[in-house]
């Protein structure tokens, strides 16, 4: 079952980002800003999330994403953890 | 105080699925997913076989139907892309002739990108202040997308074909313009030619600037945000409006997002198209203050508060 632990999510994020961008990515701390500090654009972030959907089994809710989730590594990690927790809730 | 005597949109019946635009405008798989899954775009209004002139003429005729054309002092064509027709065409002049507005002066205005339509309301109000009582102005907004270069704004939106005509006067009847705010952040004037770092800075300040101009327009109207019954936005994408609604904050159901998946972003006529369809759907009611908002490349921002009138001519 995929983890919802923040440190583990950051580790996976860093690995997926490095592969997607084909460049070294610094260690991800919570307050790093996705656009200003990591120089990502919106297409990069969407590619990242789609990769995570495939590899971690999360289901992205676009409206939830727009509400501040893309500010920093920390907000994105919280958002991913919430998506993963929802995906793991028993159905029925 | 400016009143909107009539608002007449021209939205073509035909639209194209973004799936079918992937090759013509060169969308990568990631961008296709971005537009359709995350930005809320589905179909793009497409006026096959029509020109900008055709669309504006149709909208203008609808707005002028049954009115005294001799009272029209100005015809203003507000457009987003700076060059919408070959120079020898003299588009505004041809529209004046085509609409039988021999007593009107005609001119075009741009350089406000997608805020040009809302900004033209201010220009019309200023000009009409020097004209005899009962004078009117016909504002024509919109344009035909003539190239993939202006149809695909990477990571942001895909544009469609539409137009709107707005007949305005300083006297009623009609929806009343009760507040407005405009702002230009000139440091971003290079738009798509900005270097990547500046592009990122623009994306970073975009929502704050949009929200700020909305707040200023509401304050100019002497209202509070909670008084606004509906925001009638540009149709650039759903994502940015979810972010704006969160930042204001206002409930997302007070932002009219119905047309984003149907038409795409039709440059500077979106708020007027949205006003018309919202009225037709019963989403706005007499006495409601609504907030029309747009942001444009370059970087321009504009918001206009309009109080919905009883019995304004409807063009559904």
> Is residue A91 over pLDDT 60?
no
CB contact under 8 A, B200 and A35: yes
Host H or E run for residue B51: none
Element (H, E) at A40: none
Check if the beta carbon of residue B314 is closer than 8 Å to that of residue B192. Answer: no
Restricting to B residues 9-28, those with a Cβ less than 8 Å away from any Cβ of A are 28
Prediction pTM value? 0.90
The whole-angstrom separation of Cα B212 and Cα B218 is: 10
Whether residue A42 and residue B201 make contact (CB cut-off 8 A), yes or no, is no
HSE-up of residue A85 (Cα within 13 Å, Cβ side): 9
pLDDT of residue B315: 45
- Residue B145's H or E segment, with its range, is none
Collect all residues of chain B within an 8 Å Cβ-Cβ radius of residue A39: 196-197, 200
pLDDT digits (tens, 9 = 90+) for A34-75: 877 887 777 777 778 888 888 777 888 888 887 778 888 999
Closest residue in A to B237 (Cα) is A66
Q: What is the pLDDT of residue B312?
A: 55
The pLDDT score that the predictor gives to residue A2 is 57
The tokens describing B14, both together, are 């035909």
Return d(Cα B217, Cα B301) in angstroms, integer: 11
Distance from CA of A4 to the nearest CA of B (A): 23
Q: Is B163 on the interface with A (CB under 8 A)?
A: no
Inter-CA distances, B309 with A11, A66, B54, B177, B273, Å: 57, 34, 30, 11, 17
Chain A closest-CA separation from residue B229 CA (Å) = 21
Which of A40, A63, A65 to probe by mutation at the B interface, max B CB count within 10 Å?
A: A63
Contacts of B206 (CB under 8 A, 6+ apart): B240, B295, B299
Q: Chain B: residue nearest A20 by CA? A: B30
pLDDT tens for chain B, 316 residues long, are 999 999 999 999 999 999 999 999 989 888 898 899 889 999 999 999 999 999 999 999 999 999 999 999 999 999 998 888 877 788 999 999 999 999 999 999 998 999 999 999 999 999 999 999 999 999 999 999 888 888 998 888 999 999 999 999 999 899 999 999 999 999 999 988 899 888 878 887 899 999 999 999 999 999 999 999 999 999 999 989 998 999 999 999 999 999 999 999 999 999 999 999 999 999 999 999 999 999 999 999 999 999 999 865 544 4
* Three-state DSSP state, B115: helix
Residue B124: what pLDDT? Answer: 98
Query: How close B295 comes to chain A (CA, Å)?
Result: 18
Query: Phi-psi category of B261—alpha, beta or left, where left has phi over 0 and alpha has psi -120 to 50?
Result: alpha
B238 touches chain A (CB under 8 A): yes
């Amino acid at each position: 079952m995929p983890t919802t632990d923040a440190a583990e999510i950051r580790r996976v994020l860093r690995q997926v980002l490095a592969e997607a961008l084909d460049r070294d990515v610094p260690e991800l701390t919570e307050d790093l800003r996705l656009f200003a500090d990591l120089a990502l654009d919106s297409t990069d972030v969407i590619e990242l999330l789609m990769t995570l959907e495939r590899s971690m089994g999360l289901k992205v809710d676009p409206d939830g994403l727009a509400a501040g989730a893309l500010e920093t590594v920390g907000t994105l990690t919280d958002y991913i953890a919430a998506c993963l927790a929802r995906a793991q809730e028993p159905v029925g | 105080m400016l009143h909107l005597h009539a608002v007449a949109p021209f939205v073509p019946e035909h639209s194209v699925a973004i799936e079918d635009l992937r090759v013509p405008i060169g969308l990568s798989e990631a961008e296709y997913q971005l537009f359709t899954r995350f930005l809320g775009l589905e179909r793009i209004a497409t006026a096959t076989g029509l020109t900008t002139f055709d669309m504006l003429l149709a909208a203008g005729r609808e707005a002028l139907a049954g009115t005294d054309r001799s009272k029209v002092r100005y015809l203003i064509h507000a457009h987003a892309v700076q060059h919408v027709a070959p120079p020898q065409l003299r588009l505004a002049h041809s529209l004046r002739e085509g609409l039988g507005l021999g007593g009107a002066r005609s001119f075009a205005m741009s350089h406000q990108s997608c805020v040009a339509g809302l900004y033209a309301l201010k220009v019309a109000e200023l000009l009409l202040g020097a004209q005899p009582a009962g004078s009117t102005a016909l504002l024509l907004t919109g344009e035909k997308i003539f190239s993939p270069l202006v149809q695909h704004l990477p990571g942001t939106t895909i544009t469609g074909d539409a137009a709107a005509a707005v007949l305005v006067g300083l006297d009623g009847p009609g929806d009343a313009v009760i507040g407005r705010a405009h702002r230009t952040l000139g440091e971003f004037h290079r738009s798509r030619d900005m270097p990547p770092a500046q592009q990122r800075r623009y994306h970073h300040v975009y929502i704050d600037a949009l929200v700020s101009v909305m707040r200023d327009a509401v304050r100019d109207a002497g209202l509070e945000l909670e008084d606004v019954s509906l925001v009638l936005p540009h149709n650039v994408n759903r994502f940015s409006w979810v972010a704006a609604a969160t930042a204001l904050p206002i409930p997302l159901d007070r932002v009219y997002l119905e047309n984003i998946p149907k038409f795409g972003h039709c440059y500077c006529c979106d708020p007027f198209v949205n006003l018309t369809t919202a009225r037709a759907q019963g989403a706005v009611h007499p006495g409601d203050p609504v907030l029309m908002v747009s942001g444009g490349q370059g970087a321009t921002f504009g918001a206009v508060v309009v109080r919905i009138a009883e019995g304004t001519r409807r063009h559904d």
